[in-house]
Homo-oligomer: A and B are copies of this chain.
Amino acid sequence: MDQFMQAAIDEARLGLAEGGIPIGSVIVHKGRIIGRGHNRRVQQGSAIRHGEMDAFENAGRQPASVYREAVLYTTLSPCAMCSGAILLYGIPQVIIGENRTFMGEEAWLRERGVTLEVLQDAACVQLMEEFIAARPELWNEDIGE
C-alpha cells in the first residue's frame, strides 16, 4: 500500500472512531503531506467538511505554484464539491481509493485534464460498505440525497 493512501485510510478510520463518516484525504507536495483530513459532518455539524475539503482547509492558504505540483489522495471518488475544489486549485493528479460505493465527478475531472488513478482498494470499499449498511440516512445526507 502506498504510504499516502495509507495515510488517507488512517484519516478515514480516525473519522469512524469519532462517530463520523469514514472518508479520508491527504494532499501531498514534493513527497510530503501538506494537508490531511477526514469527513467532519457529524463531528462539527458541517455541510462542507468532506474529507478532501478538510484536507484543503488543514493545508492552509497555499500559493497556486504548490497546488499545481500537488497530488490529492482520497479514499472515495470525489463528489461535485470536492471535485470543484480540485479544479479551482488546479490539482493535476488525484489518487482515488475506490469508486464502487460512490461514483463522483471523475468524468468532469478527466475532461478538465486531471489525471486520475482508481485503486479499488479493498480496505476503502469495506469501510464504506459497512458504513453505508449501518448508517444509510447519514450517508445519504452527506451526498445530498
Q: Which residues of A contact B (CB under 8 A)?
A: 41, 45-48, 53, 56-57, 59-64, 67, 79-85, 87-90, 105, 108, 140-141, 143-145
Contacts and interface: CB of A to CB of B under 8 A. Distances in A.
- Give the most central of A56, A84, A90, A141: most B CB within 10 Å: A84
B144 A67 contact: yes
Tallying the copies of this chain within the complex gives 2
Nearest to A41: B61
A61 B84 contact: no
A145 B65 CA distance: 8
Contacts of A46: 57, 61
- Give the most central of A60, A61, A67: most B CB within 10 Å: A61
